[in-house]
Amino acid sequence: MKLFRRLWCAFAFLFGGAQMCLFAQSPDNVVDEVIWVVGDEAILRSDVEAARLDFGANIPGNPYCVIPEQLAIQKLFLHQGQLDSVEVSTSEVMPNVEARLNELTMRAGSKEKLEEYYHKTMTQIREMMFESMREQYIVEQVRSNLTSDIRVTPAEVRRYFKDVPEDSLPWIPDQVEVQIVTRQPRIPQTEIERVKEELRSYTERINSGETSFSTLATLYSEDPGSARFGGEMPEYGRTELDPAFANVAFSLNDTKTISKVVESEYGFHIIQLVDKRGDKVKVRHILRKPRLAQADIDTTMMRMDSIAEDLRKEKYSFEEVAAYFSDDKDTRNNRGLMTNLKFDPSAGEQVRTSRFQLQELPAEVAKVVSTMNTGEISSPFMMVNSKDKEVCAIVKLKTHIKAHRASMSEDFQVLKSVVMNKLQEEKINQWIREKQKSTYVRINEEWRDCDFEYPGWIK
């Protein structure tokens, strides 16, 4: 309905004036109107109001000038995305949509309060956010395509910063390099069997018609991201899922069949097929996790404490212990060194680095590291790993890089990124100005009195 309204509004604005697009019983009760048209795309007053509510005081300047211009710029990029046949898959977008929905639900206090705030159902909110994020992905891809040919040489970086005063150089905050060894407390077989039997009982209840899979997932699944949606997960490809989970999910062919209990890195599941198309599958699942007994935690903590003491006495190196003892597959083959995935503008892609700011570390690790000296071995502590499992850990503060002004010798990549960002923004700004010249733009008279960042909107 909204798409039809946009198309009709754009048509009316182009050929009949904005007054043809007032959804109201009288001029004093305007529900919506077109304020800009960019190409054949309309920008509505409601779009601006929605953005103003979302971003509030974070908008620099007059929101009724800044927001429409930013929406207009986005439409330039989206149009280019159509010309370039840029595509974004559902599996790329949906996990971020669900994460954002979870965050907003927590802020609002409940799903009902969030629906009340947006005056929409959760399904409608999800659809709205999906489309918004999908467009953001397209815009980022177009920007990346436009700047993909930009290269920066070391000589260019040196020339750029040659005459920059030292106090104007980028400030590099405190960073650390951390090595870690983790060990998961032993889970008794009786506890594993208890969880499996629990999941089998769910299957029996569903097959008997007593209840539905979605109801049990909402009540009992320990995957918070999907439980609130009846256990339903976004559409995924095989390589995007845990291997054991994927093998079972892709083997299902009947939407009424429930899988046998399957163990993954996250715990134990039963799975039900929702839809399967080509190399993508959509399922719902119920996740249950075995409970750790305090006695088993204590035993593992004592073992880790003994290892930490041996490390301090240099009986073994931290690298040896990480390689032969740690349960953490992500760091075990990296000599225990934790790595941080960041976007590097100079490379144009996500790159791994061993340097973290404290707030980028897992909360439990950051709390321990913040009190340590370089080379120190921590006492054992409990933490939740990336698979949402409780593990016992010890860490070593390998390096502490104190806050400082960037230098060519120590922070070349940071300085290179500054130059790269500058060149990329210059190219994007030039592209926007050129695109303005070849794109039809019409702005409602009441919305023209603005000091636009790109004056070429008004011709």
User: pLDDT (tens digit, 9 = 90+) per residue, 414-444?
Assistant: 899 899 999 999 999 999 999 999 999 999 9
Domain locations along the chain: 2-149+425-457, 174-186+293-402, 189-288
Architecture of domain 189-288: Roll (3.10)
More confident residue, 93 or 285: 285
User: pLDDT (tens digit, 9 = 90+) per residue, 365-396?
Assistant: 999 999 999 999 999 999 998 888 899 999 99
DSSP 8-state assignment for residue 36: E
386 token code pair = 């990336």
- Rounded distance between C-alpha atoms, residue 148 and residue 336, angstroms: 34
2-149+425-457 — its CATH code?
Answer: 1.10.4030.10
User: pLDDT (tens digit, 9 = 90+) per residue, 26-71?
Assistant: 334 445 899 999 988 899 998 898 888 777 667 788 899 999 999 9
Q: How far is CA 400 from CA 35, 154, 157, 309, 343, in A?
A: 53, 26, 26, 22, 22
**Taking each helix axis from N to C terminus, what angle separates 63-83 and 412-437, rounded to the nearest 10 degrees?**
90
Beta strands in 202-319 (DSSP E): 236-237, 262-264, 267-277, 280-288
User: pLDDT (tens digit, 9 = 90+) per residue, 200-231?
Assistant: 999 999 999 999 999 999 999 999 888 988 99
Across residues 86-90, what is the average pLDDT? 86
390 token code pair = 């409780």
Query: Are 2-149+425-457 and 189-288 the same fold in CATH?
Result: no
Q: How far is CA 62 from CA 59, 67, 68, in A?
A: 8, 8, 10
Strand, coil or helix: 119: coil
Across the chain, mean pLDDT equals 87
User: pLDDT (tens digit, 9 = 90+) per residue, 168-208?
Assistant: 999 999 999 999 999 999 999 999 999 999 999 999 999 99
CATH number of 174-186+293-402: 3.90.650.10, 3.30.70.20, 3.30.1370.60, 3.10.50.40?
3.10.50.40
